[in-house]
Amino acid sequence: MIKIGLGVDIHSFEEGRRCVLGGVHIPHPRGLKGHSDADALAHAVMDALLGALGERDIGHFFPDTDDAWKNADSLKMLAMVGEVLERKKAVIHNMDVTVIAQEPKLAPHVAEMKQNLARTLKIRPEQVGIKATSSEWMGFTGRKEGVVALAAACVDCP
């Protein structure tokens, strides 16, 4: 059965943190605030995949009350979600991600992000779509206060 999952993740910026999206360290004066490395793109993908499986969200699997996930690498967390898919014999057809941010500019990093997600999930980069857009100076993203990541995943579940 083909199933679709949707994921959304939102993080504000914070001084003194690295900015990581799609497993790529992006040069920026502020990073994303969160319990793990706050990789909103990877988090949205995880929720999309878990949603397609009918599982609970990443907060259930990786609670921010557990110090084991403090400053955790989100690609390692994504690999664990990939293991859930493997156990269930689910196959990813494709995923599509949009990041909404006034800054930083993501276009120079998209190819590396696609490679990171594909390698982590053991799929081809052609199965991963990543786009970036701004909110045209509107809302908290337009005020450069944070980012939003939206993800959809198409998964074949036996």
Q: What is the pLDDT of residue 78?
A: 98
The architecture CATH gives domain 2-156: 2-Layer Sandwich (3.30)
pLDDT digits (tens, 9 = 90+) for 112-136: 999 999 999 999 999 999 999 999 9
**C-alpha to C-alpha distance for 26 and 43, rounded to whole angstroms:** 17
Both tokens of 91, joined, read: 């196959």
Mean residue pLDDT of the chain comes to: 97
pTM beyond 0.75: yes
Q: What is the 3-state secondary structure (H, E, C) of 34-53?
A: CCCCCCHHHHHHHHHHHHHH
